[in-house]
């Protein structure tokens, strides 16, 4: 799924200029899940506008919810890191601030009346049908923000909407007619589906080794480190209820249930005990770390570790990869222990031997060879193609193609209506579809379908116009980013 998501990342991170304000009702899902340090810090500057860490986090949370709503439980923090969702959030924040800078130059503003109107549209702050100020303040407080910060974000969204309205376009009757002919066209087709799973291959180990030899730099060992390491096991102290209750009062906003509501003391008691033990253990670990750094005590062990075998978090692995030779890494919590490290040596990845790489190379070789055989078979079958007639299909007739799953059928039908040749093949990766178009016809559309076409055209034109507009703004306003390898593009 990761590969598919990376391929369609531009589609998934939709370039919408007005971020939803519905995150309150959703319980700020994902809020604060990306830690950047001090909330007052800036991650980028666009013209005269600063993008704060808090603003970056809001964009990150909105994108995280967007992905989660599409992929459900399959989407998690690890996938977000793989897709560089934080960078995407920063790009979106930069794009919005480019537009806000333009709004500033036009003298556009937002009145308090407009902010109040927006607030009154949010059910999360209502009790018995009436806006409740105490509920408003409490909900924002539970989510670590304030009315001032929240209302400022509302002003920004309203201002973005005002700029967007300046660029609204209308679709012509000719555009609607042309797109209708594309969207509601039906083709009568014959098809044959060839599946890579039905391709037989006699495995030749000599050829596998030859394949590895040509591609050995695709099969590298993991980054390795020679390190000195000391571990401090998490304490298991027992605390009085008075101590626990006092700690809970100070830190209760750290303990939330899955629905975002605060835990009661009884519900959070185990968490509070662990938090106190983590704090106490960290003090001991820091003392040992300083002693080792000053050579007053030795590190417990010298070991070589490979990056792909470490059970550390991504942020802690990054500390290793960023550390200079001879550098000391302060204690960090890993499961139930604090770990201190001295970096002694870094061993760069190098090509694996054939024996070590064979388990990874062989399935790739088999897949490549089978794909080549599948393509050859498709080319040969096309010379005398008959296939099965499945009647007329539109781009929505996913269920008519029994030999393909729903996603494959959608891909095939989308490609079919873009083809110039009446008879050809469409490659779906593990499957190849041979087709022949026997006839085409235009289906009559009703008023609702015409309206859908119109909305599609307007959306396409709006997005294209706004994308071009942002590119022009980048030439006017300087963009400086605190995160590497991230730009507005």
Last residue of a domain, one of 302, 324, 347: 347
Write the pLDDT tens digit of every residue in 235-248.
999 999 999 999 99
Compute how many other C-beta atoms are within 10 angstroms of the C-beta atom of residue 100. 21
Helix (H, G, I), strand (E, B) or coil at 346: strand
| Beta bridge pairs of residue 328 | 342
In a domain, 180, yes or no: no
Residues 429 and 476 in one domain: no
- Write down the pLDDT at residue 283: 96
In a domain, 454, yes or no: no
Average pLDDT for 210-238: 95
Residues 371 and 416 in one domain: yes
Local confidence band at 179 (pLDDT 50, 70, 90 cut-offs):
low
Span of 135-149, 157-171, 429-443 with lowest mean pLDDT: 157-171
Please indicate, yes or no, whether the overall pTM of this predicted structure exceeds 0.75.
no
| Stronger pLDDT, 225 or 449, i.e. the higher one | 225
Average pLDDT for 320-347: 95
In a domain, 453, yes or no: no
- What strand order describes the sheet that includes 431-442? 388-393, 185-195, 431-442, 423-427
In a domain, 9, yes or no: yes
Span of 27-36, 124-133, 341-350, 397-406 with lowest mean pLDDT: 27-36
* CATH assignment of the domain containing 243: 3.10.50
Q: What domain range includes position 300?
A: 221-347
Residue 60 · residue 53 · CB < 8 Å: no
Average pLDDT for 157-161: 88
Local confidence band at 142 (pLDDT 50, 70, 90 cut-offs):
confident
Residue 328 · residue 322 · CB < 8 Å: no
How far apart (Å, rounded) are the C-alpha atoms in residues 463 and 10?
12
In a domain, 399, yes or no: yes
Average pLDDT for 97-125: 89
In a domain, 452, yes or no: no
Of 335, 294, 288, the closest CA to residue 312 belongs to 335
DSSP character string of 330-344: EEEEETTEEEEEEEE
pLDDT at 256 over 60: yes
Residues 340 and 245 in one domain: yes
pLDDT at 172 over 70: no
| Stronger pLDDT, 53 or 429, i.e. the higher one | 429
| Stronger pLDDT, 281 or 186, i.e. the higher one | 281
How far apart (Å, rounded) are the C-alpha atoms in residues 478 and 42?
15
Cα diameter, the chain:
86
Residues 88 and 158 in one domain: yes
Span of 49-53, 128-132, 169-173, 436-440 with lowest mean pLDDT: 169-173
- Write down the pLDDT at residue 453: 63
* CA 76 to mean position of chain CA atoms: 9
Helices (H) and strands (E) in the chain, counts: 16, 13
How far apart (Å, rounded) are the C-alpha atoms in residues 43 and 480?
9
Which range, 31-40, 311-320, 463-472, is most confident?
Answer: 311-320
Last residue of a domain, one of 317, 347, 377: 347
- Write down the pLDDT at residue 7: 47
- Write down the pLDDT at residue 42: 80
pLDDT at 32 over 70: no
Span of 130-139, 202-211, 451-460 with lowest mean pLDDT: 451-460
Question: What average pLDDT does the structure give for the chain?
Answer: 84
Helix residue ranges per DSSP H, 120-262: 133-142, 147-166, 173-183, 205-214, 241-251
Residues 24 and 148 in one domain: yes
Span of 2-6, 43-47, 400-404, 480-484 with lowest mean pLDDT: 2-6
| Stronger pLDDT, 42 or 221, i.e. the higher one | 221
Residues 366 and 476 in one domain: no
Residues 410 and 342 in one domain: no
DSSP character string of 8-40: THHHHS---SS--STTTTTT-TTTT-S--S-TT
Residues 377 and 316 in one domain: no
Provide the residue count of the chain.
489
How far apart (Å, rounded) are the C-alpha atoms in residues 487 and 98?
12
- Given the structure tokens 């927006």, which residue do they identify? 118
Residues 341 and 204 in one domain: no
How far apart (Å, rounded) are the C-alpha atoms in residues 330 and 204?
51
Percent of the chain whose predicted confidence (pLDDT) is above 90: 47
Residues 225 and 209 in one domain: no
Local confidence band at 74 (pLDDT 50, 70, 90 cut-offs):
confident
pLDDT at 405 over 90: yes
| Stronger pLDDT, 183 or 188, i.e. the higher one | 188
- Write down the pLDDT at residue 59: 87
Which range, 9-18, 82-91, 397-406, 448-457, is most confident?
Answer: 397-406
pLDDT at 178 over 80: no
**Cα atoms in the Cβ-side hemisphere of radius 13 Å centred on 236:** 2
- Write down the pLDDT at residue 43: 86
pLDDT at 298 over 80: yes
pLDDT at 455 over 90: no
Residues 19 and 118 in one domain: yes
Last residue of a domain, one of 300, 324, 347: 347
In a domain, 447, yes or no: no
Local confidence band at 377 (pLDDT 50, 70, 90 cut-offs):
very high
In a domain, 487, yes or no: no
| Stronger pLDDT, 327 or 83, i.e. the higher one | 327
Residues 36 and 131 in one domain: yes
- Write down the pLDDT at residue 177: 60
User: How many structural domains comprise the chain?
Assistant: 3
- Write down the pLDDT at residue 386: 93
CA angle at 149 for the pair 147 and 155, rounded to the nearest 5°: 95
Tokens of 277: 């033990």
């Amino acid at each position: 799924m990761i590969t598919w998501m990376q391929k369609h990342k531009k589609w998934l991170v939709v370039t919408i200029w007005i971020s939803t304000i519905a995150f309150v009702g959703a319980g700020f899902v994902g809020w604060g899940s990306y830690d950047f340090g001090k909330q007052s810090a800036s991650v980028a500057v666009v013209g005269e506008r600063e993008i704060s860490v808090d603003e970056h986090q809001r964009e990150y949370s909105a994108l995280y919810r967007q992905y989660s709503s599409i992929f459900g439980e399959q989407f998690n923090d690890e996938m977000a890191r793989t897709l560089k969702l934080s960078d995407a959030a920063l790009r979106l924040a930069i794009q919005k601030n480019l537009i806000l800078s333009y709004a500033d130059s036009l003298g556009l503003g937002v009145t308090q009346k407009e902010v109040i109107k927006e607030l009154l549209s949010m059910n999360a702050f209502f009790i018995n049908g009436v806006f409740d100020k105490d509920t408003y303040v409490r909900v924002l407080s539970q989510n670590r923000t304030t009315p001032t910060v929240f209302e400022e974000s509302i002003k920004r969204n309203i201002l973005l909407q005002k700029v967007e309205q300046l660029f609204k376009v209308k679709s012509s009757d000719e555009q609607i007619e042309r797109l209708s002919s594309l969207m509601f066209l039906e083709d009568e087709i014959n098809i044959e589906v060839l599946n890579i799973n039905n391709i037989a291959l006699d495995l030749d180990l000599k050829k596998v080794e030859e394949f590895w030899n040509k591609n050995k730099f695709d099969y590298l060992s993991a980054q390795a480190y020679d390190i000195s390491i000391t571990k401090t096991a998490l304490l298991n102290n027992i605390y009085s209820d008075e101590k626990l209750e006092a700690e809970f009062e100070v830190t209760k906003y750290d303990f939330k249930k899955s629905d975002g509501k605060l835990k009661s003391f009884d519900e959070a008691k185990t968490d509070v005990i662990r938090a106190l033990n983590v704090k106490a253990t960290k003090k001991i670990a820091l003392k040992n770390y300083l002693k080792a750094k000053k050579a007053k005590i030795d590190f417990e062990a010298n070991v070589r570790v490979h990056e792909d075998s470490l059970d550390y978090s991504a942020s802690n692995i990054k500390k290793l990869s960023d550390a200079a030779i001879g550098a000391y890494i302060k204690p960090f919590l890993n499961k139930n222990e604090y770990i201190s490290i001295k970096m002694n040596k870094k061993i760069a990845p190098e090509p694996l031997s054939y024996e070590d790489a064979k388990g990874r190379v062989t399935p790739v070789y088999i897949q490549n060879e089978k794909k080549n055989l599948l393509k050859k078979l498709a080319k040969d079958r096309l010379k005398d193609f008959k296939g099965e007639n499945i009647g007329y299909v539109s781009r929505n007739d996913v269920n008519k193609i029994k030999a393909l799953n729903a996603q494959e059928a959608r891909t095939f039908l989308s490609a079919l209506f873009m083809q110039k040749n009446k008879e050809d093949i469409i490659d779906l990766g593990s499957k190849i579809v041979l087709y022949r178009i026997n006839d085409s016809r235009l289906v009559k559309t009703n008023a609702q379908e015409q309206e859908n076409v119109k909305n599609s055209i307007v959306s396409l034109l709006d997005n294209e116009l706004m994308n071009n507009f942002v590119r022009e703004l980048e030439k006017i306003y300087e963009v400086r980013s605190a995160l590497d390898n991230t730009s507005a593009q």
